Amino acid sequence: MKIREILAQGRPTISFEVFPLKKEADYQSVEEAALKIAGLRPDFMSVTYGAGGGTSRYTVEIAARIQKERGVNALAHLTCVTSTREKVHSVLREMRENGIENVLALRGDIPADGRVETDYRYASELIREIRQTDPELCIGAACYPEGHVESVNKTADIEHLKEKVDAGCDFVTTQMFFDNNILYNYLYRIRERGITVPVLAGIMPVTNAKQIARICSMSGTYLPSRFKAIVDRFGDRPAAMQQAGIAYATEQIIDLIANGVNGIHIYSMNRPDVAERIRNSLSEIL
């Protein structure tokens, strides 16, 4: 089923993300985690493409197994800045052959050595091309409530988001954020700019202190003082940090749904236990 059809139902939805790891030897553990998370019956699951240095080889394969073996709709990510046009089209073909109807079309990060291919510069170019090649495919894109790290300011970033929507994307998923007011403000601004597609709120349950330090240094995400106090107090006690991180994420989700944000996307970091605890604590809400 296409994600745009699920979102059009106008009810709260939950989705989980998994990512293939860098080492191919870890493939089996990721696949097991993905299938376990799929067993929680989310509305859909997404599988990243080479994110954080992970491998892109298995994205479609894992997405296809989630769909075929668990009957859960899959969203396969696809990046373009380090790909040739030929490579992009071979992945799209592989998706079609495996019955994947949803793609998250991304530029991808510029590698540290600066080596990129020249066929695509921005995600909007990829989106336009996918829409022309396969008018029926459901296409998602990324958005950044705090602004993308490379953009000069939020206004420019919102203009570029508008280009992605005009190129044919059906929904957008946000980068993680830890203060819901940032999302509410962003929603106001993008709606004012005429961006009306559904917005899925990306929520990261932080379960260890190191993880949060890494994330924030990479993306410049704002940490509210309430959240910092949790990391200060529980950061060196893994079980306590995990419990507090899940509770924080759950509270964020409840506030979002209460305020009419229906699409919740969890960066579940290949952790079925974390996904399950969040799912259970929302059992009557979803």
User: For every residue of 106-119, which 3-state class applies, written as one string?
Assistant: ECCCCCCCCCCCCC
Backbone phi and psi for residue 55, each to the nearest 5 degrees, phi listed first: -85, 150
- Total residues contacting ligand FAD by CB under 6 A comes to 26
- Member of 98, 134, 151, 286 binding ligand FAD (CB under 6 A): 151
Say which residues have a Cβ less than 8 Å from residue 54's Cβ, sequence separation at least 6: 19, 20, 21, 22, 48
Ranges within 8-37 binding ligand FAD (CB under 6 A): none
Smallest separation (angstroms) from ligand FAD to the CB of 77: 3
Smallest separation (angstroms) from ligand FAD to the CB of 148: 4
148 binds ligand FAD (CB under 6 A): yes
Task: Give 65 or 265: the residue with its C-beta nearer to ligand FAD.
Answer: 265
Considering just the CA atoms, what is the radius of gyration of the chain in Å? 18
Say which residues have a Cβ less than 8 Å from residue 260's Cβ, sequence separation at least 6: none
According to DSSP, the residues that pair with 199 across neighbouring strands are 172
Distance CA 42, CA 60 (A): 18
What is the phi-psi region of residue 266: left when phi exceeds 0, alpha when psi lies from -120 to 50, beta otherwise?
beta
Ranges within 97-126 binding ligand FAD (CB under 6 A): 104, 106-109, 122-124
Please confirm, yes or no, whether 17 is among the known catalytic residues: yes
* Binding map of ligand FAD across residues 172-201, x = CB under 6 A, - = no contact: -x-x--------------------------
79 binds ligand FAD (CB under 6 A): yes
Smallest separation (angstroms) from ligand FAD to the CB of 138: 15
- Contacts with ligand FAD by CB under 6 A lie at 48-51, 77, 79, 104, 106-109, 122-124, 142, 148, 150-151, 156-157, 160, 163-164, 173, 175, 202
